[in-house]
Structure 1
Amino acid sequence: MTGPAAPKDDGRDESLAERMDRNWAELLQELRVLQTGVQILAGFLLTLPFQSRFETLDDYQTSLYLANVVVAALTTATILLPVSVHRRLFQQGLKETLVRSADAIAKISLAGVGLLSVGTTSLVFDVTAGRTAGLIAGVGLLTVLVLLLVLVPARIRRQAREEESL
């Protein structure tokens, strides 16, 4: 890798190919963690229509439910995408391209898991405690996720850069 996205020398004695293999393995592990979360939430969502109380959902709740199912399906697809790309690029000497694209896909997948968590939480609170509770729970969780998944990593990166420049 070259340019601003290129990692600094971290003292490892590894070739570019070895670094790409390591990065690929790390990305796959992260995607496995994401996949488990999506599978649990999607499984929960897919059982709901078979519950007797499902028929009592109002139009908003039904729409929120269906939106969550779509987000779960799309997030599952994005998590599977790096594996599909790997199968297509396997042994073509494009590991660096594969790792770079899988990194971007993992970030999109992470956003999908966050959105799915917010939507599912909103739905559960809406059905069990009312619309206001559902909206508060959804906005509250969205705020926490933005803080944890976006702002904290940005702050850590900024602090690391400041320490490097000292």
Structure 2
Amino acid sequence: MDNTGDGTRGESKSERADRRWVELLQEVRVAQTGVQIMLAFLLTVAFTPRFVELSSADRNIYVATIVLGAAATAALIAPVPLHRAVTGQRMKPRAVTWTSRLTVTGLMLLLCTIVCAMLLILRFVLNDALAGWIVVGVLAWFVACWVLLPAWVRRTG
């Protein structure tokens, strides 16, 4: 076993951590932009004239959506303060591990935010039953794209 790196690229542990860190940051940048735009849009909804037309259930869905969006934003921005805190401490491999965990957590929270936002919007424009079925279908598609496909590729790769 190669204790200096991953055994396939001839990298040291430090080089591998540096490479993985750069890859993670690129991934997080994509997710951060999306979640921040969505949260900003969601925050403005409460100030629209039609917000008062929402039922109590829809207001609860809205609150859940805002909280989930804020939590996703926090998880996806967390790599920045984490990196600042450990820079120069020779902890990059641990920072990469934690950043990876935060990214996965942020993506799952983003998925929940998207599902709740769709549920809220579709309940407002369609009947509740149809909205529920559409949201379940969209959730299944996200799970297929974000969970099942990567798991299948990893298992068969």
Aligned partners of 2:40, 2:78: CA distance in 1, in Å?
20
Which residue, out of 17, 20, 30, partners 2:17?
A: 20
Which residue, out of 96, 99, 103, partners 1:102?
A: 99
Aligned partners of 1:8, 1:78: CA distance in 2, in Å?
27
1:14 partner SS:
coil
TM-score normalised according to structure 1 size: 0.87
CA contact (8 A) 2:119 2:135 kept: yes
Shift of 1:8: 4.9
Counterpart in the other structure of 2:69: 72
Counterpart in the other structure of 1:123: 120
Counterpart in the other structure of 2:40: 43
Q: Which amino acid aligns with 1:36?
A: T
Q: Structure 1: which 5+ runs fail to align?
A: 161-166
TM-score normalised according to structure 2 size: 0.92
Aligned partners of 2:7, 2:107: CA distance in 1, in Å?
27
Shift of 1:14: 2.9
Q: Which amino acid aligns with 2:50?
A: R
Shift of 1:134: 2.2
The aligned length equals: 155
**Structure 1 segments of 4+ aligned residues over 2 angstroms from their partners:** 7-10, 12-15
Aligned partners of 2:148, 2:6: CA distance in 1, in Å?
22
Q: Which amino acid aligns with 1:113?
A: L
Which residue, out of 124, 148, 156, partners 2:145?
A: 148
Is residue 53 from structure 1 mapped to residue 50 from structure 2 by the alignment?
A: yes
1:21 partner SS:
helix
Is residue 111 from structure 1 mapped to residue 108 from structure 2 by the alignment?
A: yes
CA contact (8 A) 2:65 2:113 kept: yes
Identity of aligned residues (%): 35
Counterpart in the other structure of 1:163: none
Which residue, out of 7, 30, 54, partners 1:9?
A: 7
